Amino acid sequence: MNTARLTLDPRRRVAPVPRRLFGSFVEHLGRCVYTGIYEPGHPTADADGFRADVLALVRELGVTTVRYPGGNFVSSYRWEDGVGPVDERPARLDLAWHSLETNAFGLDEFMRWVGKAGVDPIMAVNLGTRGTAEAVDLLEYANHRGGSHLADQRRDNGAVDPYGIKLWCLGNEMDGPWQVGQRSATEYGRLAAQTAKAMRRFDPDLELVACGSSHLGMPTFGSWERDVLTEAYDDVDLISLHAYYQPVDDDLASFLASAEDMDRYIDAVTAIADSVGAIRRSTKKIMIAFDEWNVWYQSAAPSTPPSGEDWPVAPPLLEDHYSVADAVVVGGLLISLLRHSDRVSAACQAQLVNVIAPIMTEVGGSAWRQTIFHPFARTARHAQGTVLDVLREGSTTTTGRYGEIDAVDAVSTWDDTTGEMTVFLVNRALETPAEVTIDVAGAQVSDIIECVTVGGTDLHAKNTADGPDHAAPRSNGTARGADASVQLTLPPASWTMLRLRATDTTP
């Protein structure tokens, strides 16, 4: 039995929980849009063609924002193709995913969908094959009240009120050789700054995201962030991070500890951004948009796009079927994001439906929750109030990639208004349970509201259309204690959420 001791103190506050931390991502990729969120003719489809069963699951998931329309797709996308009468929209070749884009679903459909889903939009502009003028045109179409050509076009297309989109991504992964329109850091930084300046002439209060490195392993990582921010520091508000995780060489111990990599990534980019700010003698802080993250089996066959003369419409792509182990990793990554809530102000799990997604659908059939749905939904629902700085000590576990690390990782939130303290924990030891003692300094626990666990049994179990609840959270009855101390047992390789009713007794 491993042991861990956590100390929680309502006075040791990191930052308010950013509600945009629980964002998602819809890209025109595979079946994310077509037969995912949008399937006219489906038994549950509404008048707009949106699947009501998927909308219900999106609301249950607790998503707060959705980034659109890409992703790699955006770097050769013409937004004008996706507005106006559907039967007049042109079909185009999607160079990112070697597919045929019908444009039956575009900006206006997306904005109607986010309204029904109850989420806020994050819009990406094409800085791959297009530039400043097209970005400003899109902004005018989306956000101007009327009286101009593009705003009146939106009104004619049925959206009388402006969309009021506030958060905009200036391109996507512009350092990547796979990206249509790849640029050097200096080229991209200057274009991002120029585009940001133009967009702010329309609305100075927009929030703008510059592209960071596509992942931590890029050969230009670090220098890319430095050079982009040297050009665009005064003109942008956030810089993006992207990271995907999968087991490497069957090293499941390192996979369960993927949050170690995310922690280091966030800390590194924060340091680089602050160094650029220091050189500029700026008091401004560049925040982080971790606007793509998830488990993704990139070497698996479903991640291989079509090729040659084959340009199918919405082919099945990146349709990973997630295991219990994947759910534990996702829970750990959410812990990392919460732990850095003082600098990570937005994040998007990629993606929402079918494509490396928590929600899966059958064409014309059912929709169901994947294993990774559950830690996301529970965290989004119960991480409320303020993130607390958790002091950890205890047993370690050995990983091939990260060496000796804490066996138990954890973060906590404290809600002053409800008196609820929630603790999210991962036991990263593959075979050894952990006995955890939680010292609640400065608070008095009166009640254990709930304790649920994912994992600790068959790490390879998956949910399916026929068995959608094979790997659902189960009650953890080991939680006990009150007043200033609570104890619980974590099964090996597991994610757990513990909810406590507490009273702040700090002076």
Positions annotated as catalytic residues are 173, 292
Nearby residues of 200 by Cβ (< 8 Å), 6 or more positions away: 206, 208, 235
259: amino acid identity, one letter: A
Counts of helices then strands in the chain (DSSP H, E): 10, 26
Rounded-to-integer distance, Cα 349 and Cα 26, Å:
10
Q: What are 498's strand-pairing partners?
A: 423, 451
**Burial of 295 from C-beta contacts in 10 A (0-12 / 13-18 / 19+):** buried
Write a three-state SS string for 25-63: ECCCCCCCCECCCECCCCCCECCCCEEHHHHHHHHHHCC
Burial of 496 (0-12, 13-18, 19+ CB in 10 A): buried
Token pair, residue 59, equals 């609301």
R_g of the chain, CA atoms, integer Å: 23
415: Cβ–Cβ under 8 A, 6 or more apart, which residues?
384, 385, 386, 421, 422
β 408-415/420-427 pair status: antiparallel
Exposed e or buried b per residue across 83-118, where buried means at least 16 C-beta atoms within 10 angstroms of its C-beta:
bbeeeebeebebbbbbbbbbbbbbbbbbbbbbeebe
Give CA–CA dist 79/237, Å, rounded. 24
Which residues have CB under 8 Å from 308's CB, separation 6+? none
d(CA 215, CA 234): 24
> What tokens appear for 402 in the block?
């990260």
- DSSP category for residue 91: P
**Is the distance from CB of 128 to CB of 173 less than 8 angstroms?**
no
User: Please, which residues have CB within 8 angstroms of residue 280's CB and are 6 or more apart in sequence?
Assistant: 233, 234
* Helix/strand/coil for 132: helix
Three-state secondary structure string covering 428-484: CCCCCCEEEEEEECCEEEEEEEEEEEEECCCCCCECCCCCCCCCCCEECCCCEEEEC
